[in-house]
Amino acid sequence: MPNDSPAVMIFAAGFGTRMKHLTQSQPKPMIPVAGKPLIDHALETAEAVKPPRVVINLHYLPHVLEAYLANRPVITLREEPDILETGGGLRNALPLLEGDPVLTLNPDAIWAGPNPLRLLLDAWNPEQMDALLICVPLARVHGRNGGGDFRLNQDGRLHRGGDMVYGGAQIMKTDLLNKVEEHAFSLNVPWNMMAEQGRLFGLSYPGHWSDVGHPDGITIAENMLRDHHV
């Protein structure tokens, strides 16, 4: 793919209920990790690939993020009255993203290693792929309990089950979003459609990754960054 990056969508609408007291007065992306809010970690990852625009969806306590991002070169979009989940949120943001494919990024993950969006752009093959997901081997996953999400074939195709965890970064075409009847839906819906057609692909992340999904995840992520010198 050319060096020019497509637009980036950052998902920041969730309630962050597993973070307990930490999200009583602020949305989860404002929780600090290693001296800066999660949203700043995500924005640094996005800005490194020089996208034409960054769109961030908001729902829970949206005014907090709006105020924090007011002087940043990003576009914020409120989901009202209802939260739309990842698939519905992405579809809702398409007019602002102005292009296809798009990169998407979850802000509640910390990366220790190469920029995941750059890896996706370098490996993207639109003739073969409808989506390419960064997946992390369980041995390099921090702060997350349970098994993997996907199995990665030798040809790069993804199948459900296995020892690979979706890292929250992908590049995908968006046409299948408009074939989903539900108003609010997960990205798993179009991914399943792509997998049935053999067009859902994965890329194994060579670094380490931490899920900041619960309060203890903050310290776990900070220790990972320290231990892996990022």
Q: Are 221 and 212 in contact (CB under 8 A)?
A: yes
Tell me what percent of the residues of the chain surpass a pLDDT of 90: 94
Predicted structure pTM score: 0.96
pLDDT of residue 4: 78
Average pLDDT, the chain: 95
**Chain position carrying tokens 């640094």:** 44
Residue 131 domain-assigned (yes or no): yes
| pLDDT tens by residue, 3-31 | 479 999 999 999 999 999 999 999 999 99
How many whole angstroms from its chain centre is CA 116? 10
Residue 2 domain-assigned (yes or no): no
Q: In which domain, by residue range, is 149 found?
A: 8-227
Helix (H) or strand (E) holding 36: strand 36-37
Residue 1 domain-assigned (yes or no): no
Domain total of the chain: 1
Residue 22 domain-assigned (yes or no): yes
Residue 3 domain-assigned (yes or no): no
* Helix axes 85-97 and 188-196, enclosed angle (nearest 10): 90
- SS3 for 68-113 is HCCCCCCEEEECCCCCCHHHHHHHHHHHHHCCCCEEEECCCEEEEC
| pLDDT tens by residue, 148-183 | 999 999 999 999 999 999 999 999 999 999 999 999
Residue 133 domain-assigned (yes or no): yes
> Looking at residue 144, which CATH number applies to its domain?
3.90.550.10
Residue 189 domain-assigned (yes or no): yes
* Distance from C-alpha of 114 to C-alpha of 205, rounded to nearest angstrom: 8
* Distance from C-alpha of 157 to C-alpha of 155, rounded to nearest angstrom: 6
Q: Would you list the DSSP string of 180-224?
A: ---SS--THHHHHHHHHTT-EEEEE-SSEEEE--STHHHHHHHHH
